[in-house]
């Protein structure tokens, strides 16, 4: 219950768990060490409780927090902030992504709940989409199995690790284009086109400054 309640509180505050850890004096990796059986020490629990304005019992699921009635436009906007999981890689499709593969959560403003449920983020490796998408950038992806020709998507080749490419369709072929001219275009003709599976549409590129 602790980790679940911690994520809920981060979501409501609109801050990533790693940011909260840093703000209360913990290491950035502290969040990844907590699970259903491992919780922080008592002193750390009190720091977290004070940061969110709740009790330690609430953090541990022993006490229900009374919700205050929404007031004003600010509250309405914060209700549309969702903590979206950030994955380091994509393999075997989005349906089988495990929670232990999540490296972080990112607060994103998404007004449509359905859109939020079908959104995830991926930390990109490599420079094939440079300069639009650089190594270490985070992409916001909407899960879907089709995109229009010319759109950038996350694709899976032969059920291996996913790639980020611009997808171009022909009459009986599909091409995967890199923005970086150092990388060759990959073309799949006829039946080979079925080797390419669309996993999601890249909606946004988030860069760290």
pLDDT (tens digit per residue) in 153-166: 999 888 776 789 99
Mean pLDDT in residue range 41-53: 88
Where along the chain do its domains lie?
2-67, 81-206
Which residue carries 């911690």 as its tokens?
Answer: 6
Alpha-carbon span 19 to 70, nearest angstrom:
25
Residue predicted with more confidence, 186 or 72: 186
Q: Is the pLDDT of residue 167 over 70?
A: yes
DSSP letters for 118-151:
TEEEEE--SSTTTTTS-TT-EEEEEE-S---TT-
| pLDDT band at residue 74 under the 50/70/90 scheme | very low
CATH topology for 81-206 is Umud Fragment, subunit A (2.10.109)
Per-residue pLDDT of 116-149, as tens digits, reads 889 999 988 889 999 999 988 999 999 999 999 9
* Statement: residue 45 has pLDDT above 70: yes
Residues 6+ apart with CB under 8 A from 7: 17, 83, 105
**Residue 65: pLDDT over 60:** no
Closest of 66, 121, 128 to residue 90, by C-alpha = 121
Of 24-38, 49-63, 138-152, which has the strongest mean pLDDT? 138-152
The reply to whether domains 2-67 and 81-206 share a CATH topology is no
Using the predicted structure, report yes or no on whether residue 50 has a pLDDT greater than 70: yes
> What pLDDT band is residue 7 in, cutting at 50, 70 and 90?
confident
For the domain spanning 2-67, the CATH number is 1.10.260.40
Q: Residue 169: pLDDT band by 50, 70, 90 thresholds?
A: very high
């Amino acid at each position: 219950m602790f980790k679940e309640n911690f994520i809920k509180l981060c979501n409501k505050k609109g801050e990533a768990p790693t940011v909260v850890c840093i703000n209360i004096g913990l290491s950035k990796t502290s969040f990844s060490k907590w699970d259903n059986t491992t919780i922080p020490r008592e002193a750390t629990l009190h720091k977290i409780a004070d940061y969110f304005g709740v009790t330690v019992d609430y953090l541990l699921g022993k006490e229900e927090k009374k919700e205050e009635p929404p007031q004003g436009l600010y509250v309405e906007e914060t209700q549309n902030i969702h903590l979206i999981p950030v994955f380091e890689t994509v393999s075997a499709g989005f349906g089988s992504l495990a929670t232990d593969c999540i490296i972080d959560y990112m607060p994103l403003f998404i007004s449509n709940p359905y859109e939020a449920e079908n959104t995830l983020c991926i930390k990109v490796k490599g420079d094939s989409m440079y300069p639009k998408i650089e190594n270490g950038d985070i992409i916001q992806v909407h899960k879907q199995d089709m995109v229009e020709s010319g759109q950038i998507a996350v694709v899976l080749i032969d059920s291996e690790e996913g790639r980020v490419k611009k997808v171009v369709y022909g009459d009986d072929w599909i091409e995967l284009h890199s923005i970086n001219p150092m990388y060759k275009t990959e073309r799949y003709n006829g039946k080979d086109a079925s080797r390419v599976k669309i996993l999601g549409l890249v909606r946004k590129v988030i860069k760290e400054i």
